[in-house]
Amino acid sequence: MYFDNASTTRVCDEAAAAALRVMTVNYGNPSSTHTLGREARRELDTARRAVARALGASENEIFFTSGGTEGDNWAIFGGAEARRHTGRHIITSPTEHDAVLKPIENLRAAGYEVTYLRPEASGAISPEKVAAALRSDTALISLMMVNNETGAVTDIPAIREILNREKSEALLHTDAVQGFLKVPFAAKSLGADLITISAHKIHGAKGAGALYIRRALRFPPQFLGGGQESGLRSGTEGLPQIAAFGEAAKVGFEKMRESAAFMEELRSHILGRLTIGIPGIITVDGGAPHILSVSLPGYKSEVLMNYLEARDIFVSKSSACKKGGRSHVLAAIGLKNEVIDGALRISLSRYTTPEECDALCDAIHDAVRELFTVLR
């Protein structure tokens, strides 16, 4: 039973079929002019059209990448370069993904000044704090739409309104990897200049993603070479993953309203069951339909995960896995160390079943009873 969908999702049948078709039938190079090349080009165009439709964007605003990390890096470094004459000030938050934080840290080391906005208790970033931090030399703002640990939703359209009101030249980037096809939005109404999305979070294959670049925005290329992706990301496209991405986006867009309502119902059910009968449990409910962070202070995430895994139930912990480090997200929203150390992230998909959710809740209740004498 899989509850780690914020990490990666099961590839849907439609996406798997598309990848197989491109690997075994329409396997030409999209840049070739012969028949197989033209068939491959049609696959590429079809995928771009599907992703653009799901994102509410134009096809010429979608540039395929290898995934969310590349998209974030390109947006940060490219955004700073594109607005180099505006200034050297960046606004972000300490709850961003490392794919945003580490490039920004690189720019800070190179002389940029960075303002890290303190998040609300849910992990969301207040637009008012953006307004207070905005300066005439602000070149880039990068804030995650849906936090990957708490599910907190930041109001990106409100931030765009602030930039318009202040006539700011700053570029607005949002990492929408966890928001795409989970919470409703369209690129054109969202207002971000740059939007990062990833295929494997929406039942596509790993190794594909996209960066939305607002039309008419002059943006530096990611790679130089043969001129693919309108000259902004050269290199032969990873067409099997891209074709799968297109199918996953098409299916996900068609089912988004139904899927979001279904996941919201499951999340509410889990939340209700866990808060009954478990004294002291702490929850961080950010509002996205597919993510719930819970903590059992006094217990250890690793022990709880091992207990659940013994029952074939798979969750993740919010604490960082490397070198004993704690979750920077939960630390930033002010949770105590003992709360962070006992945190679990439960994340859902449209394939999650009510029966699986009940099995998860039963197992966590059992863990609390059985591990109590061991850990106290």
Active-site position among 12, 321, 357, 361: 321
Burial 144-168 (b: 16+ CB within 10 A, else e): bbbbbbbbbbbebeebbebbeeeeb
Rounded to 5°, the CA angle 243-244-245 comes to: 90
Residue type, 44: L
CA distance 47 to 246: 4
Q: Which of 282, 302, 277, 295 is nearest to 369 (CA)?
A: 277
CB 339 within 8 A of CB 295: yes
CA distance 151 to 348: 11
The values of phi and psi at residue 121, to 5°, are: -60, -25
Known active-site residue 321: yes
Q: Which of 273, 309, 267 is nearest to 292 (CA)?
A: 267
DSSP 3-state of 181: coil
Token pair for residue 11?
A: 């590839």
**Where in the sequence numbering do the catalytic residues fall?**
321
